[in-house]
Structure 1
Amino acid sequence: MNLRNIPNLLNFVLTVKLITVKYDSCDRWRTVIERYTLPEMGNLWTDAYKFKTWLQVEIAVCEAQAELGYIPPEAVAEIKAKANFDPQRILEIEAEVRHDVIAFLTNVNEYVGDAGRYIHLGMTSSDVLDTALALQMVASLDLILQRVGDLIEVIRAKAREHKNTIMIGRSHGIHAEPITFGFKLAGWLAEVLRGQKRLQALRETVAVGQISGAVGTYANIEPRVEALACQKLGLKPDVASTQVISRDIHAEYVQQLALLAASIERFAVEIRNLQKTDVLEVEEFFSKGQKGSSAMPHKRNPIRSERLTGMARMVRSYAVAAVENVALWHERDISHSSVERVMLPDACILTHFMLVEITDLIKNLLVYPENMARNMNCYGGVVFSQKVMLALIEKGLRREDAYAIVQQNAHAAWNQENGNFRELIRNDVRVQELLSPAELDACFDPQQHLSHLNEVYARLDI
């Protein structure tokens, strides 16, 4: 496509592979493809919503100015009654003036008339931009926290269901010792609960505004206006803004989203590993009529977990961009602006989608206890080697000697078609001299490994 042949760039639709970028009067350039944008979050990052928050900031400042006697109360009433904006018109003005806030103010004043002279008094563009951006970030975080709460309840319910579903625990990808699937989920739940606490603290951190004027010195607007306006908006004044709110706050915001995405990725990777054909202990729900492969009709692929893994990479990549934004020149530059126009909508929209996706995935996850039992008992219970070793030590055998006896029998069973560690160790005369058949059988009881798990469950209300 030759863009020079398109007479009106504001109305074109550019299609690249499967990604469609559209323009309309309420939604300027979409930064995340619609496939992964859920309306409740996507609506917070449209141009229409952004301009709405800009207007909220301007009106809050006007109200504060009036309360302090700087502008007539009747002017504020007129501003509130008449103020409006047209996203299309703002873009038309911006095409000429090359300044989005000036274009916005010009359009608002077209609606307000003479009272518009009281709008933006003593303010700088970043007073509007950064304070309004805080409103968007808080609103987005509230949605994310709501979805985190949903995920917590779904994991907790699934963990309760499988508190006693025995499976093998793995380290380095190799069979280790018995656990339960509920215990595995308990670890996920604890991680999400920690994330929830971090996000709740983050909400307070990012809920800051600034109405401090050029370079932040309050030369043309006093701090009392800032305090009143921020209070009306549900924000706190920044402690020491320059001409912008320092970007370490925004970097922390994106980093926390990246950390949450990393947790979701961990769960997704675990599901993918447990769904392997030769493991098949859990499986993503496969709906009627769903297809797994265009070539192989038998395939049931973990596509949702794979999707989440890929999305986590995207969110994580924005954490780097967010940190790069911290080092601005002097009291401000706008090198951060172009990054944030893509980074913040993308990070919020993707994290929100990931939460909804992983919640539904876990809620409908298929769990196969029979396969878990089969996998745990391969090679004749070799995973109970530590219990046998400890039993021999309790009978007075040196640890090194006990280890050598158990390892010899375990390795003899390992990767053998009919390998049976339990039979081999039972027939070892060195073991027979120290352990009775009943004592040896007790070593192979998986319940011994689960006796303290109720303490963990109680901590998490499972």
Structure 2
Amino acid sequence: MIERYTRKEMGRIWSDSFRFEMWLKVEIAACVAHNKLGVVPDDALKDIREKAAFDIERIHEIEKTVDHETIAFLTNVAEHVGPAARYIHYGMTSSDKLDTALALQLVAASDLLLAGIDNLRQSVGELAKKHRHTIMVGRTHGVHAEPITFGLKPALWYAELGRQYERMRRAKETIRVGKVSSAVGTYSSIDPRVEAIVCEELELEASPISNQVIQRDRHAEFLCTLAIIGGTLEKMAVEIRGLQKTEIREVEEPFPPGQKGSSCMPHKRNPNVCERITGLARLLRGYMHTGVENITLWHERDISHSSVERITLADSAILLDYMLAKMNWIIENLVVHTDRMKHNLASSKGLVFSQKVLLTLTQKGMSREDAYRIVQACSMKAWDSDSTLLDELKRDAEVSAQSTGEELEACFYLDDLLKNVDIIFDRLGL
């Protein structure tokens, strides 16, 4: 992933240095297991533990000749260890090391993502509580519907982020699997107990069955989970973008001093970070698709998945980590224009109370069909004139025959429509 979207800690997990550290960790764990089973002598294990190291530049140099990264790595480690290196990678195939080490990377990445989701959820929860009773208009199909509170929007995100946290936790468990089962998964050259010891040492589950590789449905699930979480962040970003439109202007993403919105229009204050998150969510969905394509490999394994995973797994984790941090910054610094919310609600001329009028008329004895016809007709008149829905209702003879002016006016009380908001917040623990 390009440096622009890479945060330090997540970038470190996907660096060559960390990857080779995990490779070495797996190889040493296997040597420890073999030592417990009497295959590796104590003095050899001591040498391996004390001397095992690698040099990235040297690995790349060797790889230019052998065209095999694992062999280049093992050759370089042997240069450091000496004669005891003959026990390193004993009975193993490349994927025993590669897939098990990859699981360690994915677990580390998952921990960062879980922390990012949790941080964002807490920020969203605080925003929801702050605006629990901040009244605004709700919109369906982009058109004014009924009054809501602004706090309900982040409350909705809060609940969804809770589900996303659980998805991420499950994805971590799905991918927290290692294998040390030799060339085609039959343990033909290695004791199955080695796998059990290695995985216990590395805090991984041993795959109950594998061929040459851990099956890629696990990795596909991981990528799908990241894409789904990205979808929630995109939903939040698109909502903020919509509410930041000039004619709406109910919220704005932060615009720090010195920031510029356009090279040619000095007045511009664009939701560019939200737009960036929207774009990056598309990338996550693309990587998800590629991950699903990787499930199918030839027979006991081919290498078609490898080149793909060098990009998709690292990039997806790095992108989501960046997106979570950026959205958290937006939420913590979101500008909320409560005056605009009041103004936009008032601009509906009372149309947002049409359902309450409909229910009142039916309660007074009018059929639902007649009540709907009358309220719709009065609403259309208000839409197309300077009057309000209440004005049109008071002028209507059929309505006047059923309800008094006071009864009609009671239909337009905000408190009645929003009387159950607290129940929703209580359900969420906010």
Q: Per the shorter chain, which TM-score range? A: over 0.9
Residue matched to 2:335: 366
1:452 is matched with which residue: 404, 408, 420? 420
Q: 2:401 aligns with which of 433, 437, 446?
A: 433
Deviation at 1:426, TM superposition (A): 2.1
Task: Give the Cα separation in 2 of the matches to 1:312 and 1:71.
Answer: 49
Extract unaligned runs of 5+ from structure 1.
Answer: 1-31
Output the CA distance in 1 between the equivalents of 2:398 and 2:179.
78
CA distance in 1, matches of 2:382, 2:405: 19
- Corresponding residue number in structure 1 for 2:283: 314
Pick from 57, 74, 88: which aligns with 2:57? Answer: 88
Change (3 A) 1:230 1:415: farther
CA distance in 2, matches of 1:460, 1:96: 60
Give the Cα separation in 1 of the matches to 2:425 and 2:189. Answer: 58
The aligned counterpart of 2:264 is: 295
Question: Amino acid of the residue matched to residue 136 of structure 1?
Answer: Q
**Which residue in 2 is equivalent to 1:420?**
388
Please state if 1:341 is matched with 2:317: no
Please tell me whether residue 150 in structure 1 is matched to residue 114 in structure 2. no
Q: What is the aligned counterpart of 1:407 among 354, 376, 396?
A: 376
Alignment size in residue pairs: 430
* C-alpha contact 1:380 1:423 (8 A) present in aligned 2: no
- One-letter amino acid of the counterpart of residue 404, structure 2: S
Q: 1:202 to 1:379 in 2, by over 3 A?
A: closer
Provide the rounded CA distance (Å) in 2 between the counterparts of 1:379 and 1:42: 49
The structural deviation recorded for 1:429 is 2.2
Taking the aligned partners of 2:260 and 2:94, their CA distance within structure 1 comes to: 52
> Compared with structure 1, are the counterparts of its residues 391 and 82 closer, same or farther at alpha carbon in structure 2 (3 Å cutoff)?
same
Residue 135 of structure 2 contacts residue 341 of structure 2 at CA under 8 Å; is this kept in 1?
Answer: yes
1:341-398 alpha-carbon deviations (Å, 9 max, x no partner): 0111110000000000001101110111111111112241111000001100000000
| 1:415, distance to aligned residue in structure 2 (A) | 4.7
Is 1:353 equivalent to 2:318 in the alignment?
no
Tell me the CA shift for residue 406 of structure 1.
0.4
Q: Please list every run of 5 or more consecutive structure 2 residues that lacks an aligned counterpart in the other structure.
A: none
Counterpart residue type for residue 408 of structure 1: A
Shift of 1:421: 1.5
CA contact (8 A) 1:379 1:413 kept: no
- Partner of residue 39, structure 2: 70
Q: In 2, are the aligned partners of 1:164 and 1:182 still within 8 Å (CA)?
A: yes
The residue that corresponds to 1:223 in the other structure is 192
Cα distance in 2 between the residues matched to 1:338 and 1:166:
52
Instruction: Tell me, in whole angstroms, the C-alpha distance in 1 between the residues paired with 2:120 and 2:312.
Output: 24
Aligned residue type for 2:57: Q
Tell me the secondary structure at the aligned position of residue 214 of structure 1: coil
Q: Kindly report which structure 2 residues correspond to 1:152-301, keeping only aligned pairs within 5 A, or say none.
A: 152-301=121-270
Aligned to 2:54, what secondary structure does the other structure show? Answer: coil
User: What amino acid is aligned across from residue 273 of structure 1 in structure 2?
Assistant: G
Output the CA distance in 2 between the equivalents of 1:86 and 1:216.
30
Report the 3-state secondary structure (helix = DSSP H, G, I; strand = E; otherwise coil) of the residue aligned with 2:257: coil
Deviations 1:412-431 (A, max 9, x none): 11154x24212111222222
Work out the CA distance in 2 between the residues paired with 1:218 and 1:264: 44
Question: Following the alignment from structure 1 to structure 2, what is the Cα–Cα distance between the partners of residues 53 and 438?
Answer: 74
C-alpha distance in 1 between matches for 2:174 and 2:127: 33
Shift in CA distance, 271/415, structure 1 to aligned 2, threshold 3 Å? farther
Cα distance in 1, alignment partners of residues 246 and 389 from structure 2: 25
2:145 is paired with a residue of what secondary structure? Answer: strand
Contact conserved, 1:379 with 1:421, CA < 8 A, in 2?
no
Alignment pair present for 1:119 and 2:103: no
Instruction: Give the deviation of 1:104 after TM superposition.
Output: 0.2
Inter-partner Cα distance in structure 1 for 2:208 and 2:274: 42
Which whole-Å CA distance do the structure 1 matches of 2:184 and 2:32 have between them? 23
TM-score using structure 1 length: 0.92
- Deviating more after overlay: 331-340 vs 291-300: 291-300
Superposition deviation, residue 203 in structure 1: 1.3
Summarize the Cα distance change of 1:307–1:328 in structure 2 as closer, same or farther, 3 Å threshold.
Answer: same
Q: CA deviation at 1:453?
A: 1.8
**1:67 positional shift:** 1.1
Give the CA RMSD over aligned residues: 0.9
- What secondary structure sits across from 2:148 in the alignment? strand
- Verify the 8 A CA contact 1:123 1:214 in the aligned structure 2: yes
Distance, in Å, in 2 between the alignment partners of 1:239 and 1:39 is: 35
Q: How do 1:377-416 and structure 2 match up within 5 A?
A: 377-416=346-385
CA–CA separation in structure 2 for the residues paired with 1:419 and 1:173: 22
Runs of 4+ in structure 1 deviating by more than 2 angstroms, as ranges, are none
Secondary structure at 2:151's aligned position in 1? helix
- Residue 100 of structure 1 aligns with which residue? 69
Of stretches 424-433 and 70-79 in structure 1, the one that deviates more from structure 2 is 424-433
Structure 2 counterpart SS, 1:169: strand
Do the aligned residues in 1 keep the contact of 2:144 with 2:348 (CA within 8 Å)? no
* Distance in 2 separating the partners of 1:423 and 1:353: 52
C-alpha distance in 1 between matches for 2:263 and 2:89: 59
**Aligned-partner Cα distance in 1 for 2:408–2:326:** 46
Deviates more, 1:223-232 or 1:424-433: 424-433
Superposed CA deviations along residues 2-33 of structure 1, whole A, max 9, x for unmatched, are: xxxxxxxxxxxxxxxxxxxxxxxxxxxxxx11
The corresponding residue for 1:5 is none
User: Could you tell me the TM-score, scaled by structure 2's length?
Assistant: 0.99
